Amino acid sequence: MRLPEKLKFVQSVQNPTSEDISFFISVLSDPDENELLQTAVLMALKRCGDAAVPSLISFLSLFYSEKSQNPESLVRISYALSQIPKTPPSVLIEFLSSNHPRVRQNGVIGLSLQNDGEFDLLLFSVLQNDPDPTTAYDAAEALGNGGDRTLYLFKTVILRDLKQNPYINSEKKLEAIHKIQCKDVFSEKPEESLPAYSGRLTDDHVLWKILEILGNTQNPELFPYIEPYLFHENPKIKNLAETLIQKFEK
Model confidence at 110: pLDDT above 50: yes
**Domain-located, residue 1:** yes
Tally of domains within the chain: 1
**Domain-located, residue 82:** no
**Domain-located, residue 41:** yes
Model confidence at 178: pLDDT above 70: no
Are residues 9 and 21 in contact, defined by beta-carbon separation less than 8 angstroms? Answer: no
**Domain-located, residue 104:** no
pLDDT at res. 223? 76
**Domain-located, residue 19:** yes
Domain with 19, as residue range(s), is: 1-56
Q: Summarize the chain as % helix, strand, coil (round to 5).
A: 75, 0, 25
Model confidence at 162: pLDDT above 80: no
Instruction: State how far the alpha carbon of 129 is from the alpha carbons of 117, 140, 169, in Å.
Output: 19, 12, 20
Mean pLDDT, range 188-214, rounded to an integer: 61
| Separation of alpha carbons 174 and 154, rounded Å | 12
**Domain-located, residue 17:** yes
**Domain-located, residue 138:** no
